[in-house]
Amino acid sequence: MHHFDYIDGEMHAENVPIQQIADEIGTPFYVYSTATLVRHYQVFAGALTALGLDSEVFYAIKANSNLSVIATLAAEGAGADIVSEGEMRRAMAAGVPASRIVYSGVGKSEAELTFALSENVHQINVESDSELETLSRLASSMGKTARIAIRVNPDVDAKTHAKISTGKKENKFGIDIDRAEEIYARAAALPGIEPVSVAVHIGSQLTELEPYRATFVRVAELVRRLRELGHDIRHLDLGGGLGIPYTAAQSNSPPPAPDDYARVVADTLGDIGCKLAFEPGRMIVGNAGMLIAKTLIVKQGEARRFLVLDAAMNDLIRPALYEGHHEIKPVKEPNPKTPVQAHDVVGPVCETGDTFATERALPLINEGELVAFGSAGAYGAVMASTYNSRPLIPEVLVSDDQFSVVRPRQTYEMLLGMDRIADWLPADQENAD
């Protein structure tokens, strides 16, 4: 469910016309719906509590790290799942206390671990022997005790895109579940370490429940073995990864609903006696955002009709990186009699990969008209770059009939100001001759 609809022939974000935002701040831009963010969080968290599961939700900031998005979810009770010091600082700046932060990630620097320890985060998810030893050394030197989970790799195929799979043996994440007893024994013996949890996360954009079921069964068996060995496992971190519909076909037969997911959790782990942590990201923010772009050029080639937009792969890289599909709609509602034609929707970047859609059936769209990319709230702005020296684009948050620019458009002065001329080069190249 989302709150982007045509009202009186024009697409709105909640009760704000998209065209109004474009007129005020220009294009391209991202726009997020507060109502959708809140609705998705409440549906996910409510599905767990409805089954009596002792649970807590840590929003995965990597999906969308805008401070206003984080603050909106924090106000609903969400903690934060973070994978870098930068994300941790964002979470705290948006009002998430360190005691509500889980620090995940396959490679944490000593500086990052030191910062997490100094702030006393809720939990650090350890992913290697080396990290465990380093964390023990740092915690001991600081007089701290690190509450940890060992992230186990269950070797379960999540049946998702190869680039976002994290739970198979060939993936870089976690420690082989068959080594878990050895690693927990080592953790229990180390100073400055308190192993209290098991963590697992098998990938992103999962559209089937069986991989979850297989994973949770393996984790339940592990927890029981660890307890028999004397380990006080009180928490389980079950990660996130629940998919969302990106296409109209998926909307008719959507990925599993939170209610169905919660039932799998209850069936496999409901009697395990642990507090359960969940780290949804895409499921919360994916369909809460759109990318709005303007059609610069309509170009009829020999073989294809092209829509050349002012947004590019540097603004939304999912189609180029993951072959990701996003629904594309005109902001002005088309007349049902408007002809439909196959289009290649592309950006202006000097790469053939700067293609959002190939032979996509769309109503005829004219130069200067706006288009909207659906399901762009996750892994959109957060993965953007300044390739081709294109400034980062704005992000807008809508609430009912109000909107606020929550990240302004980067200016060329800001973009160039990030660089420095080397000391041995003339500072003013224009007058260097």
What DSSP line would sit under 307-336, residue for residue? EEES--TTT--HHHHH-----EEESBPPPT
Please identify which residue in the block is written with the tokens 């949770």: 216
**Euclidean distance between CA atoms 358 and 430, whole angstroms:** 43
The owner of tokens 């985060």 is 121
Sorted by sequence, the CB contacts under 8 Å of residue 405 that are 6+ apart come out as 25, 394, 395, 396
What Å distances lie between residue 56 and 137, 162, 236, CA to CA? 30, 29, 10
Q: Annotated catalytic, 274?
A: no
Q: How far is CA 115 from CA 121, 135, 142, 152, 173, in A?
A: 9, 11, 11, 24, 22
Alpha carbon distance 163, 36 (integer Å): 27
Structure tokens at 137: 């050394």
Q: Other C-beta atoms within 10 Å of 318: how many?
A: 20
The angle that helices 67-75 and 85-93 make with each other, rounded to 10 degrees, is 60
Q: What is the DSSP letter of 260?
A: H
- Phi then psi for residue 147, to 5 deg, are -80, 120
Extract the tokens encoding 8. 């009186």
* Residue 79 vs residues 42, 101, 168, 298: alpha-carbon distances, Å: 14, 6, 27, 45
Which one of the listed residues 1, 189, 350, 361 is annotated catalytic? 350
Contacts 24+ apart (CB under 8 A), 224-230: 225/181, 226/180, 226/181, 226/184, 226/198, 229/181, 229/184, 229/185, 230/188
What are the b/e assignments for 204-213, b being 16+ CB within 10 Å? bbbbebebbe
Q: Which residues are catalytic?
A: 350
